[in-house]
Every structure is written in structure tokens, then in C-alpha cells.
């Protein structure tokens, strides 16, 4: 029995080492789910959403969101710059947006009610795209397999959605090993998406300081939030502090973008 356990342990360690990679911020990731598998799941889920949820027909909103999304996507590096990104804008009052493996971006019109300008929307879209480029969905699925938790693929793919609420342990990963393993990992992913997304928006010519205004709006929207230790998203105060701490790096990127003539000029033209 002891020999058997040792063999299993050695095999497990070999798999983990072989599956290790590094995130955009230098964090070690354990990923063994293939990108192709995640992209196929995301494509099916995205198509299902488009067929079952109403898409907005408001031309001004479509043009505004598309303008911001295109500007941010233009700053990506290969292989993500080689993807033909697809955008869907859903007529839904829920404050939410998300991005999915394979270059899928979903935005609810409800997010436009709290984003006051192009810069704030760029903070949302940059954050969501960063989840994709950092392979967070793949990482979540791989870690879920590691803990033996059965998880709905769509829940994993949408797990980084830019929602005004939060995800409980039950909603995010079912029950069991989520505490102390999955939730802290999710908070780490959210913080990483903030960091990387802030750089994307700044390089595209959007003011990174608007991200703080956005989160102040988000905070005002929520009457109450659960303790940070029970949330997959960092507390708003923590998030704002982290964003401000990145300005030393992102403001020069923004200023350089302006000097290079990058001014997307995306305007909200509806009432």
C-alpha cells in the first residue's frame, strides 16, 4: 500500500511539473487542459447565448462598444492578435461582461449604464480580454480536474465575468475544496486581469485612471458585499488600491499612446 501511494504521488508530481507554465505577471500556472478544448467549449457556449439571449439593435451602443473593443484588441500580441475576435452585445440589464477562449467577447447593455465614458468601458473590456490572454479559464478547468470537482464548463469559462456581484463557493465550483484553493486562485486571477487589462487599455489610448472611477461606480451599485475571503473577486477597496499602485507603469504607456496619435474617440451618443 505504501509503495502504491508513493507511485501515485510520483506520477502526480510528474504531471504537475509537466503542466506548469507562467502567467503574464510571472505567476506559476498548472495547465493541462488543451487550448483547443477550451476554445471549442467556449464557441458552443457563445453560440448558445447568441441564439437564446436577445442581442441589442441599438446602433449607437453597438458602435460604441465595438470602437472600444477594437482599440483594445489592436494592442494584443500574437497569438491573440491573430484571432478574429467576435463581439456580441446582449440586451440585458444585468451589469456584466465577459471574454471567452478563442476570441469571444460578450457585453450586457447593463454595463453601459455604469460606464460613463470610453475609458471606463475600456477598463472592463481590457480586464475581460486579459482573462483570455492569461488563460485563466484553462487554468481553472485544469485545477478543477486536479481537485476532482465536477464543474460546469460554462461556469468556468464565465468565471471571470465583470459582474457587479460576486460568486459564492457553490456558484463558482460547487462545494468542497473551493475554500482555500479555488477562491484564492480566483482572486489572484482577478488581480492579474486588472493588471494586464490596465496595460492593454493604456496602450490603446484609454486613461487607466478611469478604472478607479469605474470601481467606485461598481461599489455604489452594490448595497453590500460578502467578506473578501468568501468572494472570488477582490474587495473593491483592495482592487482600487491595486489599480492606483499600477499607475506608475500604466500612465507612461497612456502618455506614449497619445504621443503616437492613438486616440480612439469612442463616444456615447445615446440618451
Q: Is residue 266 part of a domain?
A: no
Expressed as residue numbers, the domain containing 76 is 30-259
Per-residue pLDDT of 215-245, as tens digits, reads 888 888 765 655 554 455 677 788 888 899 9
Examine residue 267 and state whether it is found in any structural domain, yes or no. no
Using pLDDT thresholds of 50, 70 and 90, give the confidence band for residue 271.
low
Helix (H) or strand (E) holding 120, with range, is: helix 118-133
* Cβ neighbourhood burial of 130 (10 Å; 0-12, 13-18, 19+): buried
Annotated catalytic sites, by residue?
A: 128
> How many separate domains does the chain show?
1
Q: Where are the beta strands (DSSP E) in 61-103?
A: 86-90, 97-100
Residue 111 pLDDT > 70:
yes
What is the number of helices (H) and of strands (E) in the chain? 11, 5
Q: Is the pTM of this model over 0.85?
A: no
Summarised one tens digit per residue, pLDDT across range 181-212 is 445 457 788 889 999 999 999 999 999 999 99
Residue 130 lies in a domain: yes
Do residues 160 and 137 touch, judged by C-beta distance below 8 A?
Answer: yes
**98 part of a folded domain:** yes
What mean pLDDT, rounded, does the chain reach? 79
Question: Would you say residue 1 lies in a domain?
Answer: no
Give the best-scoring range by mean pLDDT among 67-71, 160-164, 165-169, 190-194.
67-71
Q: What is the mean pLDDT of residues 104-132?
A: 94
Residue 176 maps to a domain: yes
In a domain, 23, yes or no: no
Residue 106 has which C-alpha cell? 460578450
Residue 90 counted as domain residue: yes
Longest C-alpha distance within the chain, in Å? 70
Q: Say if residue 109's pLDDT is above 90.
A: yes
Amino acid at each position: 500500500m505504501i509503495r502504491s501511494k508513493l507511485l501515485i504521488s510520483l506520477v502526480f508530481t510528474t504531471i504537475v511539473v509537466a503542466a506548469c507554465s507562467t502567467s503574464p505577471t510571472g505567476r506559476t500556472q498548472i495547465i493541462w487542459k488543451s487550448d483547443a478544448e477550451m476554445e471549442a467549449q467556449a464557441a458552443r457556449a457563445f453560440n448558445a447565448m447568441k441564439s437564446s439571449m436577445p442581442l441589442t439593435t441599438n446602433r449607437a451602443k453597438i458602435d460604441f462598444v465595438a470602437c472600444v473593443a477594437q482599440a483594445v484588441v489592436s494592442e494584443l500580441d500574437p497569438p491573440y492578435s491573430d484571432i478574429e475576435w467576435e463581439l456580441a452585445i446582449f440586451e440585458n440589464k444585468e451589469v456584466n461582461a465577459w471574454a471567452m477562449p478563442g476570441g469571444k467577447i460578450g457585453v450586457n447593455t447593463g454595463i453601459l449604464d455604469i460606464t460613463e465614458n470610453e475609458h471606463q468601458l475600456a477598463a472592463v473590456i481590457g480586464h475581460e480580454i486579459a482573462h483570455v490572454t492569461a488563460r485563466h479559464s484553462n487554468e481553472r478547468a485544469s485545477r478543477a480536474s486536479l481537485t476532482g470537482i465536477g464543474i460546469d464548463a460554462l461556469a468556468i469559462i464565465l468565471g471571470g465575468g465583470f459582474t457587479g456581484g460576486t460568486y459564492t463557493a457553490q456558484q463558482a465550483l460547487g462545494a468542497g475544496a473551493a475554500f482555500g484553493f479555488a477562491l484564492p486562485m480566483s482572486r489572484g486571477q482577478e488581480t492579474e486581469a486588472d493588471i494586464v487589462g490596465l496595460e492593454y487599455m493604456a496602450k490603446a489610448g484609454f486613461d487607466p485612471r478611469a478604472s478607479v472611477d469605474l470601481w467606485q461606480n461598481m461599489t455604489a451599485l452594490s448595497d453590500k458585499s460578502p467578506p473578501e475571503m468568501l468572494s472570488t473577486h477582490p474587495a473593491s477597496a483592495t482592487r482600487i488600491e491595486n489599480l492606483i499602485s499600477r499607475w506608475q507603469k500604466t500612465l507612461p504607456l497612456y502618455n506614449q499612446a497619445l504621443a503616437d496619435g492613438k486616440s480612439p474617440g469612442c463616444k456615447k451618443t445615446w440618451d
